[in-house]
Structure 1
Amino acid sequence: MKSLMGLISTNYNIDEFGVLTEERPVASLPFGGRYRLIDFPLSNMVNSGISTVGLIT
């Protein structure tokens, strides 16, 4: 998979989070006190053998 690049779109706005997302994007919200929401798609791509990942904001 050397010629493969993964793209993750973080360009979304969810009004349900209210004040939590006024100052930062949804992808950077904490989950479980240890992780950020962006960690899960990044981990999935790396575990699938995709080492080049781009973020679209």
Structure 2
Amino acid sequence: MNNMMSILFASGNESKLNELTLHRTTASLPFGGRYRLIDFTLSNLVNSGITQVGIVTRS
């Protein structure tokens, strides 16, 4: 897996989370007071040996 790369699209908004995603993406929502939702995806990638990650966000 030396040539593996991941691209994460963290720019989407979930329509059911209106107030929570008004000023941030769903991926950046806090979870458990310590983590962001994107942390779980990034952790899974690193544990799988994928360390080259591109993240697409909204501005």
Aligned residues: CA RMSD: 1.1
Q: TM-score, normalised on structure 2? A: 0.85
Ranges in structure 1 where 5+ consecutive residues have no aligned partner: none
CA distance in 2 between counterparts of 1:30 and 1:2 reads 32
Percentage of identical aligned residues = 54
Residue identity in the other structure for 2:38? I
> Which residue of structure 1 aligns with residue 21 of structure 2?
21
Which structure 1 residue ranges, 4+ long, deviate > 2 Å from structure 2? none
1:8-44 Cα distance to aligned partner (Å, 9 max, x none): 1223221111111111111100001110000011000
Gaps of 5+ in 2: none
In structure 1, how many angstroms separate the alpha carbons of the residues matched to 2:46 and 2:21? 27
Name the structure where helix makes up a greater proportion of residues.
1
Calculate the TM-score normalised by the size of structure 1.
Answer: 0.87
